[in-house]
Chain A
Amino acid sequence: MSRYLTLSALAVLFLFPLAWSGYASLEEPSNYLEMAGFGEGLDTYATNSVLVSVMTVGGTLVVSALGGYGFARFDFPGKNLLFLATLAILMVPYATILIPLYVLLGYLGLQNSLVGLSLVFVMFQLPFALFMMRNAFEALPRELEEAALVDGCGTFRAFSRVLLAAVRPALITVGLFAFLASWNDFFAPLILLNDGSSFTLPVAVVSMTQHTFGAVDYGMLQAGVMVMALPCLILFIVLQRHYVRGFMSGALRG
């Protein structure tokens, strides 16, 4: 019983800030209206965030599913080297290569571009995603693929028609991690985007505290917090099972 009392007290501590932020944002419903008109407009920032998330999730899924299948089922020269190079992304602290990435994206004409930002996110997601997808494809029985090949499918049709459906849980896990990372990240868009109209939500809402003349509108700020946090909270609660599984199988053994 005392265990449940401790747990309940702790749960109140952990949930209180979220509950308060929701309450504070709604205390004056005009908070949301004011925020909608802030800077370039909430719709611009939200659209940018959605675009970046969609491109990151899509890109990560395509690259890691193709790569995972290639690594699980084919032998090719340089395979181990490429796999190690991908895992090495985990070893290199993210913040230390954003400065050269900023310069490099300039060479590629992708500075201040949502596409460039998404590609960078795909790269950061790749070690975890590729590891997850390779393991998922390896765990499939070979018979599944052989049956499809015997039926006259090429490997790509076997991959796209049969195998992809069989690794769906891994795809959901990879997609969820990619979404949370790209939707929430602050440092990469802060560095790689330099024009207000291309800001994603975190950069735009943080700029509310720095670009408002005089007093910060705290109610409006909490409305911004809610707009950023709610999609993640809902998605996490709905897909919790997949998150924890990804954690157990991929995040830890890297």
Chain B
Amino acid sequence: MTLTVTRSGRAAHAAPPARWRGRKVQGWLYAAPTAVIVGVLFLAPLVLVVWMSLNRWPLLGPATFNAPDNYLKIADNPLFVDAVVFTLKYTVITTVLLSGVALGLALLVQERRPGIAFFRTAFFLPGAVGFAAAGLLFYGMLNNDFGPIDPMLQALGITGEPVKWIGTPNMALFSTITLVLWRFAGFNMLILLTGLQAIPTEVYEAARSDGANRWQIFTKITLPLLRPTLALMLILSVTGSLLAFDQFFVFTNGGPDNSTVSMVMVVYRDAFFRFDLGGAAALSVVLLAALVGLNTLMMRRLR
């Protein structure tokens, strides 16, 4: 019995035995489609984006080398400078709230009890809806004339008149974050659940028999052991928020007065409204470098 386990365990990870080698050509054939897709659609655009950023590259017509103009003019792009500030603010608020809500949900549904599967599904379900669809849903739901939220709040006496859900910069940010929490809390709950379930129950039992109370168990056992999973969730949330596009394009359309224009929205506008692909490529390179750097840093610090 032990023998079989060791054998299959080794077979899964050790290098294949001699008679499996010498099949290099076949191996390459199986991997060829992967290599083509990765080479043509990932590595080539990665090189191309750098090359484009060194050129004046209009949407139509020939490109001309103009380095480093595209990079120099980033600082003069007021829309982008504002977008950096706005996106950072959005990222911090979203990440803090999303982590809190997701952790709360995960703790509520972590134990197997009757009916708990229903609640897990209910919390996750918005995550199956596309982000564009979710944005349009909120766009209707928070509309003053058509949506149900204003009449409900008024009937409860919470507000007297219709709320400008996306009419002021702060409310637009607040409403967008509500949308994002609704759409992503369940997804992040699922991430944290996988981490919570990896904590052996013996650890909890030992702590309980040592007389630890609930709060001590949470701060001294659950949180430290959940650290790698929390780190992963933070990285995903920070990256996703810094690259926010759909929610602002669909739900607030950058408004009011360009107060909710995210960094990626500026890239999009530069490329397809100002027809300046070179400028958009330079912004992309800056974003890419910043995010790869940030991810590496976060992985080192948090794991």
Contact = CB atoms under 8 A, between A and B. Distances in A.
Mostly helix, strand, loop or mixed at chain A's interface? helix
Interface stretch (B131-139, B158-166, B200-208): B131-139
Given A97-B42, A138-B12, A247 B30 contact: no
Interface string B193-223: 0100000000000000000000000000000
A147 interface: no
Contact of A97 (B250, B284, B295): B284
A126 B34 contact: yes
B153 interface: no
A82 B38 contact: yes
A4 B292 contact: no
B292 to A, nearest CB: 6
A213 interface: no
B296 to A, nearest CB: 8
B24 A74 contact: yes
Which of A63, A96, A108, A219 counts the most chain B CB atoms within 10 A? A96
A63 B34 CA distance: 6
Contacts of A167: none
Contact of A75 (B15, B140, B243, B284): B15
Contacts of B28: 70, 76
A76 B161 CA distance: 69
B105 A70 contact: no
Interface residues of A, number: 89
A79 B31 contact: yes
Contact of A119 (B37, B118, B137): B37
Interface size class of B (residues with CB under 8 A): 35 or more
B133 A247 contact: no
A93 B49 CA distance: 13
A82 to B, nearest CB: 6
Contacts of B253: 210
Given A97-B49, A221-B139, A186 B128 contact: no
Nearest to A224: B136
Contact of A11 (B49, B57, B119, B140): B119
13 contacts: A14-B185, A20-B148, A75-B15, A76-B31, A85-B38, A97-B46, A99-B267, A99-B277, A101-B41, A126-B34, A183-B130, A186-B130, A247-B191
A83 to B, nearest CB: 9
A99 B130 contact: no
A93 B240 CA distance: 9
Contact of A67 (B33, B146, B285, B288): B33
B137 A96 contact: no
B143 interface: yes
Given A187-B245, A205-B132, A11 B21 contact: no
A184 B133 contact: yes
Nearest to B195: A252
Given A14-B123, A97-B49, A191-B268, A126 B281 contact: no
Nearest to A186: B132
B119 A7 contact: yes
B174 interface: no
Nearest to B123: A14
B96 interface: no
Given A15-B125, A183-B130, A233-B125, A247 B194 contact: yes
Given A89-B38, A122-B37, A99 B194 contact: no
Given A77-B24, A91-B295, A21 B288 contact: no
Contact of B143 (A123, A126, A218, A237): A218
A155 interface: yes
A169 to B, nearest CB: 17
Nearest to B4: A141
B75 interface: no
Contacts of A185: 130
Contact of B292 (A91, A102, A203): A91
A153 interface: no
B65 to A, nearest CB: 16
Interface in A73-109: 73-77, 79, 82, 85-86, 88-89, 91-97, 99-104, 108
A93 B119 contact: no
Given A6-B108, A63-B33, A18 B264 contact: no
Interface string B16-53: 10001101111111110111011011111110110010
Interface in A96-144: 96-97, 99-104, 108, 119-120, 122-123, 126, 130, 138-139, 141-142
Interface in A226-254: 228-229, 232-233, 235-237, 240, 244, 247-248, 252
Contacts of A71: 30-31
B126 A95 contact: no
